[in-house]
Structures are given as structure tokens and as C-alpha cells.
Amino acid sequence: MIDRDRQGSAGVRGMRRGLAGLTGRGRSFLAAGVTAIVCSVILGQSALTRVGVLLVALPLLAALVIGRSRFRLAMTRTVSPQLVGAGQQSKITLEITNEGRTPTGLLLLEDQVPYVLGTRPRFVIDGIGHGWHRAVNYHVRSDVRGRFEIGPMTVRVSDPFGLVELGRAFHTTIALTVTPRTVALPTVPLSGAWTGSGDNRPRAFASGSAEDVTVREYRHGDDLRRVHWRSSARTGELMVRREEQPWQSRATIFLDNRESAHRGHGAASSLEAAVSAAASVAVHLTQRGFTVRLVTADGEDPNSAWHDRSSSQNIAPLLEALAVVTPTRRAHLETDWLTDNSHTGLLVAVLGALDNHDHTVLRRMRHHGTNPLAIALDVSGWAGRNGSNRPESSASWLSSLGWRAVEGGPADRLPALWQELGRSAAVGGQGSWGPPETHPAAGSAVGDP
């Protein structure tokens, strides 16, 4: 992405603006010069007068030159990559060009960045003439997800002695999206049909959906040999036979982002662990050929809906949606995103604390998914309490509703939980797990992705 803006000094009011830009050093020169002149008059030292005049003249001359100069700066900001994972670096490149006729003095650059990306980068560039340009770059890194605005850039032009500085500001900014941390998950059987291509691949669309239609409207460039004349006669428009398309496996990831369902604060909260788990599952399912959509307690995210065909090959829209997930004040789970004739395909839920009101909602979600899977977080672990003495765990509760569920705390590793879900051969299996098996995908803990 490129961020381009220009700043000029055509409106600078000469000497007045230059004097307003006097630095501490310039004011000190003025004060020392005036003092030297006064002392020379009192003491009758003519040599001291010449020193005082020189000290006064230097900042005044610098203010006149800098204040009356007419320069025109253009800046190009490039962010690469603009979508980066948490803990990874992104490179920011700044190119400054002087499009004016007057050479600039010393340039002091300072870019504004959020504190989570690090300290504000500052650069000093020697003066550049007409048509010259300079390029500088720096790196930013964030350990937390989110969407951050970089900029605006401030530029201060200084004389070679540092006596006068005039500031300029570029008003535009550019966004950097930091996606949640993800870990590699082991390959496990996810449904009765196993994923992949072929005849056993689960169908993605219900009867009567767009993928089941065998003809479509004629488009410019279509082969006339593909015209379906019977459908054309019935509709009154040219219709052509659709090309054969493979069935696409679908998966819905449900993320419980209710504020009341999570504990902890910031990057160490159970919500961040849930977001990281949802992102890891989304990447894993996409790599296995699923078209994945995201649903939160607020409903379906439009940027990761199934109708976006690129989502089966490009996980970026869904990761961007997860990067900006915030807690919602909804008290209970809702199923507004479900309809009576809809089917979610594979359903994977990452849940926080549950209450009795969620029984009905989870039961309805169970009937709209194929062998639904659930990772239930023991949020008491993020609150510093031991939840092992509770009368019934969330996983057992979900198993009684027909889910295949496991329960995880801050110290549990997501690959082990995912593998335990794969070992649950049938609905209603146990909601706990044993020691993690040896597996090449050695991920991190749920609470510390």
C-alpha cells in the first residue's frame, strides 16, 4: 500500500514564521548576543560588541532564510506486508521527495505509530535539492492483534546550525492489520465423510442452491456450443450449461466473544486465547479444502461469508475479521444467523463460560451442524481460580447435548485438544483428555499462543 501526500510552505510569513521556529539553541544565541552587546556598552569593549552582533545575526539570518524558503515535499509510504501475523515484523518504507525549486535544509522525520508497535521512529536526513529524494525504512512489530493506523508523518526543516526548525505534517495515514497467532494442528477425521475431494466429499449446498443449477445466463465470450436451448426458450434469455464444479466442503467457526463469558485482561485474557484458537482452526480447515466462514455472538461476519469464493483459497478475509474482534455486551448466545433450512456443514465452536440459558441455543446449533465440535475454555483458569471442583464441566455438559467437546485451560496446548476431538469417535464422548500424544505439530498453550 502507498500513502502519498504533499506539503509546501507557500503560506509561510517570512521572518515572523522563522522567528516562531527558533529552537532552544537559537534563543540562547539571541540571548547571549544581546547580553554581550549590553556588556560591551557598559564595559566599553568594542570587541565584545562584534561578538554580540555575530551571535544575534546568526539566528536572525537563519530565521529569514528558513522562513522565506519555498519548498514542496512529497512523501510515499509503503507498508509490506500490510497483513501480518502477531509477533511478525512489517517493513515501513518512507520516500521523501523535494518537488520545489529551493533546496531544503536538515530534515527531521518522525512517524506516528501506536505504542503497541514500538517507539516512534525518528530520522535525520541531510538537505535535498530540487528533484532529489531520500528513502528511509523501519520495522514495526506487535504481539497483539488489531488494526493500527500508522501516521501522520511530521517533518521538521532545520538550518545547518540547528537554530531554527519549521514543522510540517502529512495528514494521511495507512492501516496495518495484525492477525491472531496461529499454531499448526494435526490432521484428524472431522466428520463421517472425511474431507477432501471425490465422491465422498460432503456437499456444500442444500437442494436448490446456486451450485445445483446446471445452467446460467449467457456471458460475452461463452462458447455458443454450450447454449442450452430448452432453458433459453423457457426463460426468454440465452442460457448456457455450467461447467462441472467439484463439491466444496463447508465449515462454520463459531466464536463466543461475549464479554461476560471470558476472564482476564488484554493479551492474557481468555478471549484472546479463544480468538487464537479460532484462527488456528480456520487456517487448518482452509488447508484441508474447506470454505470457512466466521460467526460470532454478534452474528455472521460479512467479510468471511461463504459467498466469497476466494475464502476457500485465501484465508486473509477471515483472519482480518478475527484481528478486529472485540468483546460484545450480549448476555446470551443467539442463533439469528441460523435459518430453518440452513446447514452449517462442519461446525466448530470455541466457547467461553456457559449458563443454563445457552442450553437451547447450543442444542439448536447442534441440529444444524455435522458432528459439531467444541473447544470449551475453562475461563476460571484465566481468573486465577481452579475450576476442577465444579459439579459439571462445560465439556460434559456439551456432550450431553450431542457435541464432541473438550475443555481447555491456560496451560493446555491447542494441538492436543484438537487431537483429542479427533479421537472422540462418536457423539457423547468424554469431555476430558489424557497426556498429549507425540505429534510433529507441537503447538503452544491455549493461553499462550
Give the tens place of pLDDT for each residue, 17-34: 777 778 888 889 999 999
Does residue 428 have a pLDDT over 50? no
Identify the H or E element spanning 208.
none
Which position has the higher pLDDT, 374 or 359?
A: 374
Q: Which backbone phi and psi does 447 adopt, to 5 degrees?
A: -80, -10
Q: How confident is the model at residue 206 (pLDDT cuts 50, 70, 90)?
A: very low
Query: Average pLDDT for residues 382-396, to the nearest whole number?
Result: 63
| pLDDT score, position 299 | 81
Classify 133 as helix, strand or coil: strand
Q: Residue 276 carries which side chain, given as an amino acid letter? A: S
Q: How far apart are CA 194 and CA 281, in angstroms?
A: 16
Q: Under a CB-based contact definition with an 8 Å cutoff, are residues 134 and 96 in contact?
A: yes
Q: Is 210 exposed, middle or buried (0-12, 13-18, 19+ CB in 10 A)?
A: exposed
| pLDDT score, position 12 | 44
**Of 449, 401, 117, the residue nearest 272 (C-alpha):** 449
Does residue 281 have a pLDDT over 60? yes
**Contacts of residue 91, Cβ cutoff 8 Å, sequence gap at least 6:** 79, 80, 137, 138, 139
Does residue 368 have a pLDDT over 90? no
| pLDDT score, position 267 | 84
Please state, as a whole number, how many other Cβ atoms lie within 10 Å of the Cβ of residue 241. 15
User: How far does CA 327 lie from the centroid of its chain?
Assistant: 16
Q: How confident is the model at residue 149 (pLDDT cuts 50, 70, 90)?
A: very high
Which position has the higher pLDDT, 380 or 393?
A: 380
User: How far does CA 326 lie from the centroid of its chain?
Assistant: 12
Whole-number average pLDDT of the chain:
77
- How far separated are the first and last CA of the chain, in Å rounded? 29
Helices then strands, each counted (H, E), the chain: 9, 19
Q: Enter the C-alpha cell of residue 405.
A: 467437546
Does residue 305 have a pLDDT over 50? yes
Q: How confident is the model at residue 93 (pLDDT cuts 50, 70, 90)?
A: very high
Identify the H or E element spanning 171.
none
Does residue 448 have a pLDDT over 80? no
Q: Pick the most confident of 60-74, 141-155, 163-177, 411-425.
A: 141-155
Q: Which CA distances in Å does 213 have to 197, 209, 242, 250, 427?
A: 20, 7, 8, 18, 34
Q: Is 65 exposed, middle or buried (0-12, 13-18, 19+ CB in 10 A)?
A: middle
Q: How confident is the model at residue 144 (pLDDT cuts 50, 70, 90)?
A: very high
Please state, as a whole number, how many other Cβ atoms lie within 10 Å of the Cβ of residue 285. 24
Tracing cell 494435526 back to the chain, one arrives at: 186
pTM to 2 decimal places: 0.72
Percent of the chain with pLDDT over 90: 21
| pLDDT score, position 85 | 92
Q: Under a CB-based contact definition with an 8 Å cutoff, are residues 364 and 269 in contact?
A: no
| pLDDT score, position 218 | 80
Does residue 221 have a pLDDT over 80? no
| pLDDT score, position 435 | 32
